[in-house]
Structure 1
Amino acid sequence: MADSETVAEKVSQVLTDFVNETIGEKENITAKEPSTPEGQAVAYVSLVVMALVPIFYGSFRSVKYQDKQKESGEKPETITRSDAARFPIVASGLLFGIYVFFQVFPKEYINILIGIYFLVLGIFATVHVLRPLIVSCIPATFPNSSYHIQLTEGEDAGKEEWLNQKFDRRDLVAVAVCAAILVWYALQKSFVQNEACNQHWITNNVLGLAFAINGVELLQLSSIGTGCILLSGFFFYDIFWVFGTNVMSSVAKNFNAPIKVVFPQDFLIRGIFGKNFAMLGLGDIVIPGIFIALLPRFDISLKRNKHTYFYSGFIAYILGLIMTMVVVIVSQHPQPALLYLVPACLGVPLLTALVKGDLNTMLKYSDVPETEEKKSD
């Protein structure tokens, strides 16, 4: 009974603090070690590069992924308009729930559970991304052999398939390599208090980039209109949770999982053992990324053998991200990246379409027939 009362008191105090911070009764103080202009430049340029890789690579993987689905006769799984409208609300509830958990319960235990979850999920994500590279490094003399695992329930007409997976020994090598990366990450994270082991941010970035590439590739929008709804919703979501309260910054600092890419601003002084990190959330990569990944599919539908709209969106993302970094450096305060990325990623492709006379075609474009999308909604 006493434990229940203690938890209830903690939750009540957290909610009170949250309201006070939101209305401005408590100052949001972020103490960081000073960094040199050169160190900041290296860190933010590195973040920009790490953000561009999953968007560029994931966008063209997205095209191939959808082509494979169509060839196999599968119905493409896409984000519909109702999904896009709900996402910012669901994300807000999840973000605040995590914040409350960190305030009420010891973060060490929460991070252990989170670490186990991401350890398993990370193996699948990294294998999906790194398998082609790992397999290409395996010599032709490697004694390869194929395997087929099949798990069904019932017999004859009532048989239900649970698992049907084909793989070979090269796939097992890829799994082993990716598992080793994950184990390294877990061990480094466990000893993060030891300065000599503070380089686990490297494996954090490997996992974060793998998650981002998978997100851009597999989370496919159904239409340009759906993308506008999704990005507009997250535009206001990011502004509120960054400027309205310290919830997002608090979760980003305490949530010890590869949900962001980071780079030490004191890299020029301490190398990989740097401690003063600049960071970029994976949401600031994946959310605009899945919209940009829709643009090369639109380019293909025009049958002009050009990627005009993809490159317009890609360049717009670069400019928006650079603007974000500049404002962060000048203001010395965390910024909602989507405040700058959403107008750029939506505005430039739409303006390009208006100039080229493709605006009506772009707004009507959809990967999914309208009747199917309405059924999904």
Structure 2
Amino acid sequence: MADVVFSFLAQASENTTENATNTSGRPPSTPEGMAVAYGSLVIMAILPIFFGSYRSVNYHKEKKPEKMTKKDAAMFPIMASCALVSLYVVFKLFSKEYINLLLTGYFFFLGVLALTHLMSPVVTKLVPAAIPNIPFHILFKRGEGESSQDLINYRFSSHDIVALACCSLVGAWYLLQKHWVANNLFGLAFAVNAVELLHLNNVVTGLILLSGLFIYDIFWVFGTDVMVTVAKSFEAPIKLVFPQDLLTNGLAANNFAMLGLGDIVIPGIFIALLLRFDHSLKRNTHTYFHATCFAYFLGLMTTIFVMHMFKHAQPALLYLVPACLGTPLLLALVKGDITLMLKYEDSSEEKDKDEGKAVKQEAKKAK
């Protein structure tokens, strides 16, 4: 599911930070309202990166995640550009209402699943111990013996079902009202899951990916109206929004500032890699992770400042990429870790060896 979510994050390409006031014709927001809106967006951007990064460390220890290669990273901006242009053409040729109706249904299912993945551990802790947690396992195979292939191999429990039911209520709320709170719950769930589940295999791959998307973002925001048009037309929880008129209109506020999830996930998966690099150094410190998180914060604040000064949508990666790449590389150069960082490979050799032994043992048993 993570691959699908990340694909949509990049394809829809809402990698812009925008002040909705300047394009909507609504009355200007108060300085206090704008401060609350952008402050909330910054907090909501940092939290998924922070928690998703720590979850990625645990996920890497427990499972063997799929990793993005250098070739994948180099091709990604090209594929994202093709998808972005395709969405632009679709919105120009067909009615936005029908397209967004299909997208709403699709993201309803994705959002419920993503939110359930986050809420299941919480529900497990809240459910009284007297209520049993019954495990289930759905397995659907094709073939027999060593040549068999798992088409469906999913484990869950009765507590997961309870979490799914609760998250479905949030999904129903989003379907019926498209409320900004429900949108943000789904958006945060997408961001945390993406940072947790999507892994870069090394720092060089991260450099290639972020550098390519740096150029991609600048071109499509400043060079054409494609990205901004898609961002405004695409009604799906792939952006975080916060009303600038919350102080005056409460939860019914509708004058939004927004931040695309791409601006969270793309730097986030690189920052999560740096946390795993910190762990590999075994120094009991998270220097590179914390320093890059702070650099991300400064880059996001710079984006908001420039946008406010020039009254124009900004490609946030223009400011985030130099901050998130320059900070750890400069710090590694100063600390003498630059060679270690560039040679670091995000893999678990011990886990691979254990899995190899397990496969051999199963093959012997089968014989």
Interval containing the TM-score (normalised by the shorter chain): 0.7 to 0.9
User: How big is each residue's C-alpha offset from its partner over 1:211-269, in whole Å with a ceiling of 9 and x where there is no partner?
Assistant: 01111111111111111111111111111111112211111111110110000111111
SS at match of 1:150: strand
Equivalent of residue 306 in structure 2, options 312, 316, 327 = 327
Task: Tell me how far apart the structure 2 counterparts of residues 161 and 81 of structure 1 sit (CA, whole Å).
Answer: 28
Task: Tell me how far apart the structure 1 counterparts of residues 343 and 141 of structure 2 sit (CA, whole Å).
Answer: 43
Task: Tell me how far apart the structure 2 counterparts of residues 231 and 91 of structure 1 sit (CA, whole Å).
Answer: 13
Equivalent of residue 146 in structure 1, options 135, 149, 155 = 135
Counterpart amino acid of 1:186? L
Task: Tell me how far apart the structure 2 counterparts of residues 151 and 232 of structure 1 sit (CA, whole Å).
Answer: 41
Task: Tell me how far apart the structure 2 counterparts of residues 157 and 348 of structure 1 sit (CA, whole Å).
Answer: 48
5+ residue gaps in structure 2?
Answer: 1-21, 350-367
Contact 1:316 1:348 in 2 (8 A): yes
Task: Tell me how far apart the structure 2 counterparts of residues 331 and 160 of structure 1 sit (CA, whole Å).
Answer: 56
Contact 1:32 1:276 in 2 (8 A): no
Structure 2 equivalent of residue 98 of structure 1 = 87
Task: Tell me how far apart the structure 2 counterparts of residues 50 and 32 of structure 1 sit (CA, whole Å).
Answer: 26
Equivalent of residue 173 in structure 2, options 184, 205, 209 = 184
Counterpart amino acid of 1:267? L
Structure 2 equivalent of residue 245 of structure 1 = 224
Structure 1 equivalent of residue 346 of structure 2 = 367
- The verdict on how the C-alpha distance between 1:272 and 1:85 changes in structure 2, with shifts beyond 3 A counting, is same
Task: Tell me how far apart the structure 1 counterparts of residues 132 and 215 of structure 2 sit (CA, whole Å).
Answer: 55
Counterpart amino acid of 2:88? Y
Structural mapping, 1:317-356, within 5 Å: 317-356=296-335
Counterpart amino acid of 1:339? L
Structure 1 equivalent of residue 252 of structure 2 = 273
Contact 1:55 1:292 in 2 (8 A): yes
For the pair 1:174 / 2:163, whether they are aligned, the reply is yes
User: How big is each residue's C-alpha offset from its partner over 1:56-80, in whole Å with a ceiling of 9 and x where there is no partner?
Assistant: 00001111111112xxxx4x41111
* Identical pairs, percent: 58
Q: CA deviation at 1:183?
A: 1.2
Counterpart amino acid of 2:268? G
Task: Tell me how far apart the structure 2 counterparts of residues 154 and 365 of structure 1 sit (CA, whole Å).
Answer: 39
Task: Tell me how far apart the structure 1 counterparts of residues 146 and 246 of structure 2 sit (CA, whole Å).
Answer: 63
For the pair 1:62 / 2:41, whether they are aligned, the reply is no
SS at match of 1:286: helix
Equivalent of residue 265 in structure 2, options 268, 275, 286 = 286
Task: Tell me how far apart the structure 2 counterparts of residues 333 and 212 of structure 1 sit (CA, whole Å).
Answer: 25
Task: Tell me how far apart the structure 1 counterparts of residues 346 and 240 of structure 2 sit (CA, whole Å).
Answer: 31
Structure 2 equivalent of residue 48 of structure 1 = 42
Q: Report how many residues are paired.
A: 327
- The verdict on how the C-alpha distance between 1:360 and 1:32 changes in structure 2, with shifts beyond 3 A counting, is farther
Task: Tell me how far apart the structure 2 counterparts of residues 165 and 246 of structure 1 sit (CA, whole Å).
Answer: 43
Q: TM-score, normalised by structure 1?
A: 0.83
Task: Tell me how far apart the structure 2 counterparts of residues 249 and 160 of structure 1 sit (CA, whole Å).
Answer: 43
Equivalent of residue 207 in structure 2, options 228, 239, 246 = 228
Q: CA deviation at 1:142?
A: 2.1
Q: CA deviation at 1:343?
A: 0.4
Q: TM-score, normalised by structure 2?
A: 0.86
Structure 1 equivalent of residue 354 of structure 2 = none
Task: Tell me how far apart the structure 2 counterparts of residues 106 and 40 of structure 1 sit (CA, whole Å).
Answer: 32
Task: Tell me how far apart the structure 1 counterparts of residues 339 and 96 of structure 2 sit (CA, whole Å).
Answer: 50
- The verdict on how the C-alpha distance between 1:175 and 1:334 changes in structure 2, with shifts beyond 3 A counting, is same
**Runs of at least 4 residues of structure 1 off by over 6 A?**
none
Task: Tell me how far apart the structure 2 counterparts of residues 310 and 125 of structure 1 sit (CA, whole Å).
Answer: 25
Superposed CA RMSD in Å reads 1.7
Task: Tell me how far apart the structure 1 counterparts of residues 134 and 183 of structure 2 sit (CA, whole Å).
Answer: 33
For the pair 1:306 / 2:285, whether they are aligned, the reply is yes
Structure 2 equivalent of residue 78 of structure 1 = 67
Q: CA deviation at 1:165?
A: 2.6
- The verdict on how the C-alpha distance between 1:230 and 1:188 changes in structure 2, with shifts beyond 3 A counting, is same
Q: CA deviation at 1:337?
A: 0.4
Task: Tell me how far apart the structure 1 counterparts of residues 144 and 281 of structure 2 sit (CA, whole Å).
Answer: 48
Q: CA deviation at 1:369?
A: 8.8
Q: Which moved more, 1:160-169 or 1:264-273?
A: 160-169
Task: Tell me how far apart the structure 1 counterparts of residues 96 and 299 of structure 2 sit (CA, whole Å).
Answer: 34
SS at match of 2:78: helix
Q: CA deviation at 1:156?
A: 5.7
Task: Tell me how far apart the structure 2 counterparts of residues 145 and 59 of structure 1 sit (CA, whole Å).
Answer: 30
Counterpart amino acid of 2:77? P
Task: Tell me how far apart the structure 1 counterparts of residues 75 and 142 of structure 2 sit (CA, whole Å).
Answer: 36
Task: Tell me how far apart the structure 1 counterparts of residues 56 and 133 of structure 2 sit (CA, whole Å).
Answer: 29
SS at match of 1:30: helix
- The verdict on how the C-alpha distance between 1:144 and 1:124 changes in structure 2, with shifts beyond 3 A counting, is same
- The verdict on how the C-alpha distance between 1:32 and 1:228 changes in structure 2, with shifts beyond 3 A counting, is farther
Task: Tell me how far apart the structure 1 counterparts of residues 144 and 262 of structure 2 sit (CA, whole Å).
Answer: 45
5+ residue gaps in structure 1?
Answer: 1-28, 190-199, 371-377
- The verdict on how the C-alpha distance between 1:95 and 1:157 changes in structure 2, with shifts beyond 3 A counting, is closer
SS at match of 1:263: strand
Greater Rg by CA: 1
Q: CA deviation at 1:145?
A: 2.3
